[in-house]
Amino acid sequence: MPGRLSDRRLSRRELLRVGALGTAGLTLPQLLASQAARAADSVNGPAAKADACIILFLNGGPSHLDMWDMKPSGPIEIRGEFNPIASSLEGVQVCEHLPLLAQQMHHTTLIRSMNHSVNNSHAAAVYAALTGHDRGEQGGVAKPDDHPCPGAVLAKLRPTPHGSLPYISLPYKTKEGAAGPLQPGFLAGFMGATYDPFWVLDDPNQPNFHVRNLALPDGLAMDRMNDRRSLLSSLDHGLDLDSNQTLASMNDFQRQAFDLLTSNNAQQAFKLSEEPDSVRDRYGRNIYGQSVLLARRLIEANTRVVTMSWAPHANATWDTHGQNFNKLKNELLPQFDAACSSLIADLAERGMLQRTLVAVLGDFGRTPKINNNAGRDHWNSCYSIMLAGGGIKPGFVLGASDRSGAVPTHSPVSPGDIVATMYRLLGIDHQHLIYDTLNRPHTVVPEARLVPEIMA
């Protein structure tokens, strides 16, 4: 009898270890708890035109003047080194280094009149872009009272089926500078860590890519997993549900964790090796191209929101204060062109684009005038974003900038307006009340307006 009791305790410890695999993020039970929204937070929102969302966040501030809103007739110190080319959207030109994406522009809406109040702090601009809350130049670390991002809000208000991950962020926890803290805008904030993303921080371009948070613990075979499942069921026997609701709920989340660990659907999504080499090559054999391909596979496996941050830290990629044209031409634009064009084309070919919202966002744009380091600096007064699918009007351009790309000449749009419109397309009223961990109500995006012009 003592021996059997010891074995039982060991099994239970291993069971809990299975429920705490998320050393790089949430534990699986915490993550799965996000699918048990409180009745107070239930939502009967507008009819959803999109069921899923992929956010490609060009972290650092992509140059609108060298991508989407070129000024070929302007002076050399503004127009830069690149030439525009025609796109599949009649009358709309894009950069010559985006030839593949140029052929997909008929699926998209370009907005060339974005602006907000943040010009210095990447962190504050990222926070505004991803949450819709512009708090000025307040940067710093992510805080518990931050407003939540779309992935967190959708995880709560439009939970996914069991055996799927509601909100995933990859491939980095982007920092505010190489040695800086995590940028705000990717987390659940006042909603609580339960709704934070499931982080995928391994490089999907590596041949040995696997997701540690979803792998079985070393030495734990599938048949032993089934033993743990039986043990978990036995924990319910004799449980007083009225007095032990928390334990009962945790048991349920542990059971869902088992389902996720053994779910063929969830596990298959991460098996990029099953994609044809031609497809992987088309997206680009680099961490970003393969992350975008993984995002498509995760949406196919019922994930609601995937956010892909294109930088390990704010200054690493799109923050082109120096050598802007060399970096764009030789690295950033070819990688982005391959990945984004392949994503849109694949979603359209598979009949998924209509119900999948793709948002290509950034923290701000770059200065009209080229600096002495052949770079462009931060510019918040006017920049561009691109949206596609999921109820977005195809083949449309909203807004315009002046002859130097410095300020909008009409139809100015804020990040809050875009995030509010994204919520509407995803079936959430941006004025809906959500509750923090102290049960206090908050409006999802209070200071924003919908942008009906871009909705199909």
d(CA 150, CA 206): 29
Q: Which residues contact 409 (CB under 8 A, 6 or more apart)?
A: 113, 399, 400, 401, 402
Same domain as 123, residue 63? yes
> Is the dihedral angle over the CA atoms 297, 300, 302, 306 positive or is it negative?
positive
Whether residue 192 is contained in a domain is answered as yes
Q: Which residue type, as a one-letter code, is found at position 411?
A: S
Q: What is the pLDDT of residue 265?
A: 74
Quick one: 304 and 171 in the same domain?
yes
Whether 195 and 332 share a structural domain: yes
Residue 225 has what pLDDT? 47
Same-domain pairing of 97 and 173: yes
Residue 124 domain-assigned?
A: yes
| Together in a domain, 234 and 321 | no
Residues 25 and 53 in one domain: no
Q: Which tokens belong to 380?
A: 């918040």
Please list the ranges in the chain whose pLDDT falls under 70. 1-43, 139, 213, 215-264
- The verdict on 192 and 66 lying in the same domain is yes
* The predicted structure's pLDDT at residue 139: 66
Q: How far apart are the first and last CA of the chain?
A: 68
pLDDT single digits (tens) 245-304 = 443 434 444 555 555 665 667 788 999 999 999 999 999 999 999 999 999 999 999 999
What per-residue confidence (pLDDT) applies to 261? 61
Residue 38 covered by a domain:
no
The β-bridge partners of 366 are 378
pLDDT recorded at residue 260: 62
pLDDT of residue 454: 98
CATH number of the domain residue 287 falls in: 3.40.720.10
Output the six-digit token pair for 89. 């959207």
Its pTM stands at 0.85
> Taking the CB of residue 455, how many other CB atoms lie within 10 A of it?
16
Tell me: do 231 and 325 sit in the same domain: no
In this prediction, residue 163 carries a pLDDT of 78
Q: Please report the DSSP string for 233-269 in residue order.
A: HHHTTT--TTT-HHHHHHHHHHHHHHHHHH-HHHHHH
- Clarify whether residues 228 and 169 are in a common domain: no
Question: Do 13 and 51 have their domain in common?
Answer: no
The SS3 call for residue 385 is strand
| Structural domain total, the chain | 2
Q: List the domain range (segments joined by +) for residue 195.
A: 46-208+270-454
* Calpha distance 32→161 (Å, rounded): 10
Greatest Cα pair distance, the chain, in angstroms, is 87
299 and 391 both lie in a single domain: yes
